[in-house]
Every structure is written in C-alpha cells, then in structure tokens.
Structure 1
C-alpha cells in the first residue's frame, strides 16, 4: 500500500484507511514550529460531527498558535472519508491508521492526541496503546451507557481535560467524578472547568482557545532549530 508523504505545507489529502480512504487535513503552525504533531478528533459522526466542527478547528488553532502542527481527519463515512459509522470501534481503527502514518512520516516528532466529545472518547480509549506525549480531552462523554469509560486502560502522559459547566449533552458532574476516579489510578489530569459554557462552547470558543493554550504550555517541547 502506497501511503502519501507528509506534506511540507498545509494541505488536505487522502490516506488509505481500514475502511477505505480517509480525508486528512494537515496544518502547520503560525508560531515557530515545535517538534510535535497533534491529531485532533471530531465529535459524533451521526450528529453531524466532522473535522470542520468549530470546537475542533479552534482547538487545532490553539495548538498551532503554540507551535504544534495539527492533523485533523474525518472518521469513516464523513466528508470524503469512505466507510460507515462503527460505534467507536472502526473510528479507533481510523485513528490508529492516521497515527501510524504520522509516526512513520515524522518519526522525530512527538505525537499528541486531542479530541472533542466522541472524539475525546476515541482518543482516550486508544491513548494507552498509542502512548502520546500529551492528551487533550474536551467535553469527554463520560456519563451514560453509550460509551464505556470504565474499562479503558489509562495512559501515563500529561492530560488536559476541559469541561463546560453548562454542558447540556455531557453531564458536567459525571465528568468531574470520572476525573476523580482517574486520579486514583494515575496522576490527576488537569481539569479546567469553564463556567456558563455549553457543550459546543457557543460564545466561548475564544475562552476555549485560551484554556488549551494555557493548559499545554508546561508541556510544550522546545522550538525546532531552523535548518
């Protein structure tokens, strides 16, 4: 299987995936580049989630402003990505395929993972396997029976969790309780609670941008030296 090269400039490309082609967008940082690449995963496909979701694009923007190259992609069945929704199982395969491509093409760059809502679930459930250098979880759907967080193996990397206190889809207290349980098994994730903030961060996207930038600051690798 011939895999595309990692682009030298921002570009959208097609990557062979487990269920067919995956639509992938690579964007380079506005700030001086750092040797890290963050994969940012989108919310639930069946509810209209895609890599163009505003929370996803704002998170990616905050990362690029901090010097991190970002990779967004559409899960199977979304946009130009082939296949159909697979309840998180196939989407996990998609993430692992994209991560393998990033690591093969840019072996000297640290891999970061970020996800919003369903995308947070997918990144969390694969983080122990993929061993990212940083994990960012925005409004992770830790409540209810739909997505089972109880059996997920936890990573040991630095971890930022951002949760809106007025989230109408993900129960905020369930997220706080889950973070407390995580803290009993590993170093506690940094939890940022955003007051008066809905699930999709309406009118609070700029605040989300600041929360991500501030939260990752202690973990940023040094800027790359110019060639």
Structure 2
C-alpha cells in the first residue's frame, strides 16, 4: 500500500500522519516518534523513515506523525508531555483500526522519551507494547529515571561518539534503570547515525514483534 498522508484528531488539534501498510495481513502495528520539534525534528527525519520502512517491509502497519506544532500538526511544543498525549491519540486510532495486533513502539532522540513515557502509560492502562526501541535517548535532558515499568522488552541503541547526547550518561542510565534494556553500542557513530543506518536497521530488525 502506498504511503497515505492524512490528518487525525489529537488533543491539541489535528495531527499530520503518514500511514503505510506492508501487507494485507499485517503481523503487528508500529509507531515511530521523531526527534526534537524545536531543532528541526519531523516525521521525515532519516532515522525515523529508516525504522518505518523496516516495519513496513516486514508487513506491518506503520504510523509516523508530526508532533503538535510541527509541519501541518496543530498546537505548540509541550516539553514531551503534550507530545506523549499526541502519541496516545495515535495509538488509540491505530488500535481501533487494527485491534489485537501487537505494537512495536520506537523513537529517536526526543522521540525516544515520548515513546518510553507513552509505553509506561500504555502498560498502566493494560495495553503494553510488545517491543520498545529507544535510539539515542537524551537521558541528560529528560526524566528517563522516572520511567520504571513499560511492561515490555526495551532495546537502547546509542552511538559512542554522539555529539548531542552524552553517551556515557546513556550507558550509566541503561545499567541502572529497572527497565533493564538490551544496550547496543555503535562505535564511531554520532547522533544522527551518518553511515550507520543499515546497521541500525539490522539491530531494529532483530527486536521486532515475533
């Protein structure tokens, strides 16, 4: 199915989304969250589209979307709190369209905080994700330590030469958090995974819902 760009109702107004479906009988659904809205992050970021294409090619129904205040999405930046509400609205729509399918939830940079926070809320609501992928999580800037139970396996991918997120802080957090993530370190890799997208795709592929 060709990518369908549409708008959905969100808590702060309309949300701009792209929906792709890889097969007529999708094995799972996927949502990919984009990086920081105030620093040029959109759903068309190359890390986001790489993860979305991976899930689509595995047959999934994939949604990527612009957070409030980005692109055609209405509203304004809300420090990850309102953006989590946006994610939950997307999830509600997706599960209504495709009930009973497991969820693969992922996020890059700022989007990883939204994904992790959303995953904890989904678990508390009795609808846990099947897998959670956090790429370059900005643990130095957002309260990841407050996220303690997502109810699903967590994978963290972090470049060792990240110029935006302090890699050592991510490694330390990954060792200490009760989420007990599978930590994958990428040597010679900066924040935006230049030249490493194929490697990222391979890691992500090994953590899809099975």
SS state at 1:56 partner: helix
Taking structure 2 as the reference length, what is the TM-score of the superposition? Answer: 0.92
Rounded to whole Å, the distance in 2 between the matches of 1:33 and 1:61 is 17
Distance in 1, matches of 2:119 and 2:86, equals 14
Question: Following the alignment from structure 1 to structure 2, what is the Cα–Cα distance between the partners of residues 207 and 53?
Answer: 17
Query: 1:166 aligns to what?
Result: 161
Say whether 1:135 aligns with 2:132.
yes
String of CA shifts for 1:13-45, please: whole Å, max 9, x gaps.
11011111000101122x785421111000000
Residue 200 of structure 2 is aligned to residue 214 of structure 1:
no
2:4 aligned to which of 5, 11, 20: 11
Which of 85, 92, 97 is residue 84 of structure 2 equivalent to?
92
Greater C-alpha Rg: 1
Counterpart mapping for 1:112-131 below 5 A: 112-130=104-122, 131=128
The CA deviation at 1:179 is 0.9
How many angstroms does 1:46 deviate by? 0.2
4+ residue segments displaced more than 3 Å: 31-34
Query: What value does the CA root-mean-square deviation take over the aligned residues?
Result: 1.6
Match of 1:28 among 14, 21, 32: 21
Deviation string for 1:69-106 (max 9, x for gaps)?
21000000101101111111110110111011111111
**Matched residue of 2:145: which SS?**
coil
Number of matched residues? 205
Q: Is the contact made by 2:131 and 2:207 (CA closer than 8 Å) also made in structure 1? A: no
Distance in 1 (alpha carbons) for counterparts of 2:39 and 2:29: 27
Corresponding position of 1:44: 36
Q: Deviations over 1:151-178 (max 9, x none)?
A: 2232121211111111111111111111
Most deviating of 82-91 and 8-17: 8-17
Looking at structure 2, the residues matched to 158 and 136 of structure 1 have their Cα atoms a distance apart, in angstroms, of 9
Query: Would the alpha carbon gap of residues 104 and 88 (structure 1) be closer, same or farther in structure 2, given more than 3 Å must change?
Result: same
Q: Report if aligned partners of 1:141, 1:170 keep a CA contact under 8 Å in 2.
A: yes
Unaligned runs of 5+ in 2: 123-127
Instruction: Tell me how far 1:207 sits from its aligned partner.
Output: 1.5
Structure 1 unmatched ranges of 5 or more? 1-7, 221-227
Length-normalised TM-score, structure 1: 0.85
**In 1, Cα distance between equivalents of 2:28 and 2:53:** 14
Distance 1:32 1:19, change over 3 A: closer
How many angstroms apart in 2 are the aligned matches of 1:181 and 1:33? 39
